[in-house]
Structure 1
Amino acid sequence: MSVLPTRHRTTTVRGHEIAYREAGPADAPALLLLHGFPTSSHMFRDLIPLLADRYHLIAPDHLGFGRSAAPAVDEFPYTFAELAALTAEFTEAVGLDRFALYVQDYGAPIGLRLALAHPERVTAIVTQNGNAYEEGLGAEAWAPVLALIEERTPETEAPVRAIRSLDGIRWQYETGVPAEHRDLLSPDAWHHDAALMAREGQDGVQLALIADYGSNFVLYPAFKEYFRTSRVPLLAVWGEGDQVFVPAGAEAFRRDLPDAEVHLLPTGHFALETHAPRIAALMDDFLTRRVPVRP
């Protein structure tokens, strides 16, 4: 198998520069990869080459993340609704009209909002620790976030700031990864994320988004209705040791999508760091069987 190159590109949406990775033949089935907090399209660096010979992959950095522009909070309304709308406009800017979604963490509510608005565009969903159910929320990890959502004060902001510190980010990468897989984790990943999270203006950007996360809970019934009515093919590949989005969130998809395929992997929140080849194989098998090729 020849490895096709990943290209690092930018486009402009609403006057903001959006960075993205792209690989694979333009006429191949499309995959839109949406990353989570606190990372960027960097999280897909191992997955993209494994699929680029047979899929057209595009992975943007959300506004405020990675190499994309990060306007101040008084210049852009950092909400999940706005990021989803911006993502829809991004797909139009790069010429994506139908695609399967890969969603993780923040990418899940962004991608599912996009699916609600444009269900005809979404051919399938791969969710890797990307939650849509109340039981998927890990109680301990979510306690400070829920407190901030309930009331934003200096006292509730402080513990949430710690989540995007170097130690807080490293915790997200390491927690739940068994000892036999721990040396597969590259420290470059959390140092990369922490450096970007430490940039000027990030405090306001990230606090605004975390404070808005409750708006996603309000949409959980709509997400479930979308699953039931669309019958969208769905693959859940989940790090079973994740304490942010726990395995019950993966199993819950079967309630509304009885044909959902769920695989729990012996790893944590950032499953691609340890299991990219396994996830790529599961995705390729799933998409080949479940998504018809458009003539």
Structure 2
Amino acid sequence: MTQARRVAAGLAIIGRMKASHCEQLDIRGLRYNVRHWGAADAPAVFFLHGWMDSSATFQFLVDALAHDWHVIAPDWRGYGASEWLGRPYWFPDYYGDLDALLAHYSPDRPARIVGHSMGAAISSTYAGVRPERVAQLVMMDFLGLSTTNDTDAPGQLAGWLDNLRKEQPVRCYPDHDTFARRLQLANPRLSDARAAFLARNVSRTLADGRVTMAGDPWHKVASPVRYQAGDVMASWRGIRAPVLMLLADKGYVAERFADAPAEIERRLACFADMRRVTITESGHNLQHDQPEQVAAAIEGFLARD
């Protein structure tokens, strides 16, 4: 597809999209960008994006919703139009950011939350330690990371220390069309029109005109502390809200635990009130691949005011 045709396809799909607007606010000393779809007096639901992504990733899913909702979708710190640190990130800060965001937008009532990937990781752990703040939780293609070994810890810390001495490289593309093709290479299910939209809305244009993903490259530096699956599962056991687990049939959960189906069931058993739905013909980014399936499942689960 030529660049001109790709741009035209992107503009055509934009013409059919539900409009959003963004606001900037201070969250724990950082400038946060928060995207809104829908009327402010509609039932509120928070959409939380994943790693190396941003709030615009939910556009196709929002377009597929049949009912009126006030969708509140922040760009996490270091992503999209929120403030970038330019240094290593500490994952627990996201729990603090979510706590502050809910205090701002939903101070008097527990929130409906839809989290994809890292957004599901943050919101599910949070829901276990602040169960009174979450009314309903949708987890999109996330069931924790693989279990790590004690022997991994020294090397992980050493790698983190090594990275502190380096500039983190920014992967750039000459234009949005090239970036769109790269997105389709990573996810062949993306249509030309959707790839064109994402290339312009989950990216950042540099001063020289080149295009990069709208995520601080420091996010790609692995944590100095190894992942503790047991700690995460202990938090899940504290969730009181009903949970909708949306798993893509060709997503990361299916890939990560392909040889350990019993581990999937062990982790699912942590949730006291859980409904499981498989999204078919979908990779990890199910909000891109099958937004209609995802929207139907979410709206069949969420309770309206």
Q: TM-score, normalised by structure 1?
A: 0.72
Amino acid at match of 2:294: I
Q: Does 1:278 align with 2:293?
A: yes
Distance 1:22 1:200, change over 3 A: closer
Structure 1 stretches of at least 4 aligned residues deviating more than 6 Å after TM superposition: 145-148, 154-157, 161-173
- Note the alpha carbon deviations across 1:124-159, whole angstroms, 9 max, x for none: 111111233648x9xxxxxxx9997464168899xx
Distance 1:93 1:153, change over 3 A: closer
Amino acid at match of 2:285: F
Shift in Å, 1:28:
3.5
> Does 146-155 or 234-243 show the bigger shift?
146-155
Unpaired runs of 5+ in structure 1?
Answer: 138-144
Q: 1:255: which partner in 2?
A: 269
CA distance, structure 1, for counterparts of residue 287 and residue 213 of structure 2: 25
CA distance, structure 1, for counterparts of residue 236 and residue 212 of structure 2: 36
Q: Does 1:88 align with 2:99?
A: yes
Q: 1:142: which partner in 2?
A: none
How many residues of Structure 1 are paired with residues of Structure 2 in the alignment?
Answer: 267
- Note the alpha carbon deviations across 1:150-209, whole angstroms, 9 max, x for none: 64168899xxx799777999888655x6x7x45365155357546479589933x3145x
Distance 1:4 1:105, change over 3 A: closer
Distance 1:188 1:55, change over 3 A: closer
Within-5 A mapping of 1:1-295: 5-51=19-65, 53-73=67-87, 78-95=89-106, 97-132=109-144, 134=146, 149=156, 151-152=158-159, 181-183=189-191, 186-189=195-198, 193=202, 195=204, 198=212, 202-203=216-217, 205-208=218-221, 210-211=222-223, 214-215=226-227, 217=229, 219-227=231-239, 230=240, 232-243=241-252, 246=255, 248=257, 254-257=268-271, 259-287=274-302, 291=303
Amino acid at match of 1:238: L
Amino acid at match of 1:84: Y
CA distance, structure 2, for counterparts of residue 264 and residue 14 of structure 1: 36
Indicate the SS of the match to 1:63: coil
Distance 1:274 1:91, change over 3 A: same
Instruction: Answer yes or no: is the 8 Å Cα contact 1:129–1:250 preserved in 2.
Output: no
Indicate the SS of the match to 2:269: helix
- Greater Rg over alpha carbons, structure: 2
- Note the alpha carbon deviations across 1:42-84, whole angstroms, 9 max, x for none: 11112223338432210000010000011232xxx72121121
Distance 1:95 1:200, change over 3 A: closer
Indicate the SS of the match to 2:247: strand
Shift in Å, 1:243:
4.1
Distance 1:246 1:100, change over 3 A: farther
> Does 44-53 or 77-86 show the bigger shift?
44-53
Shift in Å, 1:117:
3.3
Instruction: Answer yes or no: is the 8 Å Cα contact 1:28–1:55 preserved in 2.
Output: yes
Q: 2:11: which partner in 1?
A: none
CA distance, structure 2, for counterparts of residue 94 and residue 56 of structure 1: 11
Amino acid at match of 1:88: D
CA distance, structure 2, for counterparts of residue 22 and residue 254 of structure 1: 31
Instruction: Answer yes or no: is the 8 Å Cα contact 1:237–1:262 preserved in 2.
Output: yes
CA distance, structure 2, for counterparts of residue 128 and residue 57 of structure 1: 16
CA distance, structure 2, for counterparts of residue 200 and residue 125 of structure 1: 26
Distance 1:272 1:148, change over 3 A: farther
Distance 1:264 1:46, change over 3 A: closer
Indicate the SS of the match to 1:9: strand
Indicate the SS of the match to 1:282: helix
CA distance, structure 1, for counterparts of residue 228 and residue 182 of structure 2: 24
CA distance, structure 2, for counterparts of residue 101 and residue 200 of structure 1: 23
The structure that is helix-richer by fraction is 1
Distance 1:187 1:26, change over 3 A: closer
